[in-house]
Amino acid sequence: MPYSVDVLWQQITAFAADNKIVTSAIIIVLFLGLQRLVLKLIRLRSRRRGEDRRHTINILEQISNGFLFILVILVWSSEIQSLAISIAAFMVAIVIAMREFIQCFLGFIYYLGAKPFRVGDWVQMNKIVGEVVEMDWAKTALLEVDEETHDYTGKHVYVPNSHLVTQVVKNLNFLRRYKLHTFTITSEPKLNPYTLLPSFIARAKAHCDFYRDVAERYKSLIERHMEVEFIQIDPTIGVQTNELGHIVISVALFCPTDEAHDLQQKISADWMNLWHRALAEQEAEAKPATH
């Protein structure tokens, strides 16, 4: 029995050595078929469990593609060795010509080691904000997100992986649900704004009560992950003046990303109502004094 196995193995290796094109085609077809079957099973399982397995699927796909590439290289190793020897004099020129591709590959190796983000995270790369939807050894595909409104623009952006080692990459994943939203309200200097602050702060807090419990849990999750406390749940309100002497009310909120615009409008409306009501009362009190 061992003899027959050895003979069979010798016949297979002899066939592979004599028919490398056919062998390569068989390896590629079988390997890709097995890869597709495994990834399909993972997707079906993740759908049944309601889990996001895009990151795991992406990593498995890239690692298996690399393994397939190594197998094909092994089949053609002798020819590649002969080719490498014959073009040794041109190796420097080839490296220079393929510098960008080499940097992209090194960027992918850095990603596998450092793991600065995952598929599904929000990141800022090359001044572009987007959700990572796919990544391979050459590029990272982003679904662009508007930096101001945090809405999807519908555009796909492809960033070379070389930027992972040459530029700053910001992980903005916590902004998907909650964000630190700041805005300002400008008014004429006709009233003392500090007299309105207690009522204004109370109204702003009332607008934020509906999400306070969830915000507390999300705040704890973010600060535990970053090992630093920097988030204030209650609205932070300040009074300043600009270069024109106008009163500027600054408001900072830790709020749900999709509610930020509505909260800004409601809080701005509260300030304007308080301001104009106080201004009307002031003008009404000043009228009798003029007679």
CB 142 within 8 A of CB 119: no
Q: N- to C-terminal Cα distance for the chain?
A: 121
pLDDT of residue 272: 93
Q: How many CA atoms lie within 13 A of 72 on its CB side?
A: 17
pLDDT of residue 77: 75
pLDDT along the chain (291 residues), means of 10: 62 72 85 86 81 77 83 77 63 71 84 82 84 86 81 85 83 75 89 91 90 79 63 85 90 86 92 91 73 48
pLDDT of residue 265: 93
Domain spanning 87-176, CATH architecture: Roll (2.30)
**Sequence spans of domains, the chain:** 1-83, 87-176, 177-283
Write out the CATH class of domain 177-283: alpha beta
User: E strand or H helix at 82, and its extent?
Assistant: helix 77-86
DSSP assignment of 21-68: HHHHHHHHHHHHHHHHHHHHHHHHHHHHHT---HHHHHHHHHHHHHHH
pLDDT of residue 229: 64
DSSP designation for 191:
S
The two domains 87-176 and 177-283 share their CATH topology (first three levels equal): no
Contacts of 138 (CB under 8 A, 6+ apart): 101, 104, 105, 108, 160, 161
pLDDT of residue 225: 61
pLDDT of residue 84: 63
CA distance 88 to 94: 10
- pTM of the predicted model as reported, rounded to 2 decimal places: 0.52
